[in-house]
Amino acid sequence: MSIYQATTSAPVNIACIKYWGKRNESLILPTNSSLSVTLSQDNLRSTTTARADPSFAADCLWLNGKVDPIKSGGRLHTCISEMKRLRTAFEAANPDQPKIASFNVHICSFNNFPTAAGLASSASGFAALVYALAKLYALPQTPEELSLIARRGSGSACRSLFGGFVAWDMGGDDVTGLDSKARQVAPESHWPEMEALICVVNDAKKGTSSTSGMQRTVVTSALLQHRIGYVVPSRMADIESAIADKRFGDFAEITMRDSNQFHAVALDTYPPIFYMNDVSRAIIAIITEYNRLSDQPKAAYTYDAGPNAVIYALTPNVREIAQLVLYYFPQAEKVIIGGQEVEAALPEGFNEAVAKRWEVGSVKGLIHTRVGDGPRVLSDSEALLNAQGIPKVLA
């Protein structure tokens, strides 16, 4: 008997122009366009195996070894149903294909990083889910077309269908949402020197989820209205131009300004939302002082809906930035970059007084990564389901 199964992985993306706020909750249509950098799956990824089988009693999904309920009308249900709909249409147009659209599916997904801690786990997770089903069903849809469905699971997931530098165009069709989709601005090969140093400040699940936070912001924040109407459109054009010309100084300033404004919008929400903490703010002070030493910024901090810092920098400067971070936030374990251990140090002329030196554990870990590719198809040896269609590892 044939086994219908596919295993894929999808990357994390970290936004430079933030998505925050929906104008349509059911279709997940954003209040503004956004832009992100896709990070390498060699460091951060969601892996998903999807199998269709007539013996399965119901659709079932396991996340990190635990059952994740597929609620009728919920986001998981929507994505799975949409992918089955595409397979049904594919089978109708190709009568020789096996009739598997009606089979229930078992889906197993694993994140190799903390879930819901501000590291975009829902983005990579839903992108991997949609891509795995697309490969299982042998669908002809492009990544851009698949991004329409990934968006219905988690808005930023649409951007994880591409590698490199990716825009999510907000679109204007509020009825179908068919023009609100991801678009690759530049592949990872365009600017391979773009690297990232992630400071894991807190790997616990955040107190205010992105979904509930956005809802409160849209209803209560006057600053959000100014942001979406007057700020984001020009920033999107400016950062796409900076990426095209590989102008890191401009890219860095736009990225930091947009991160600042996103968290200002969170603060302007009523009641206010606090995603950053004292460690987050200390990292901002350190990077600001580091950039003061140069004619152009050499590092760009950005924070999503959580306290973890992502610091973008070009290859020649990453080690110096890591030395600086280690000076203020010592680590219990060695930090290796480029095959060599990084020692704590301050650049010449750096004002040490901009932040205090924190104890070990204040930053729980450093992840060094770089711009990376889009979803990958993995071999059968990497499948997460066993011969019976049950996860090989259960929590």
Q: Is the pLDDT of residue 368 over 50?
A: yes
Report how far apart the first and last C-alpha atoms of the chain are (Å, whole number): 30
Tokens at 70, concatenated: 């597929």
Q: With helix as H, strand as E and coil as C, how does 59-112 read? A: CEEEECCEECCCCCCCHHHHHHHHHHHHHHHHHHHCCCCCCCCCCEEEEEEEEC
Distance CA 14, CA 17 (A): 9
User: pLDDT tens digit string along 61-98?
Assistant: 999 999 999 999 999 999 999 999 999 999 999 999 99
**pLDDT grade for 113, boundaries at 50, 70 and 90:** confident
Percentage of the residues of the chain whose pLDDT score is greater than 90: 92
**What does DSSP assign to residue 360?**
T
Which pTM does this prediction carry? 0.96
User: pLDDT tens digit string along 221-262?
Assistant: 999 999 999 999 999 999 999 999 999 999 999 999 999 999
Mean pLDDT of 9-14: 97
**pLDDT grade for 376, boundaries at 50, 70 and 90:** very high
Q: Would you call 159 exposed, middle or buried from its count of C-beta atoms within 10 A (0-12, 13-18, 19+)?
A: buried
Distance CA 169, CA 183 (A): 7
Distance CA 14, CA 119 (A): 8
The three-state secondary structure class of 199 is strand
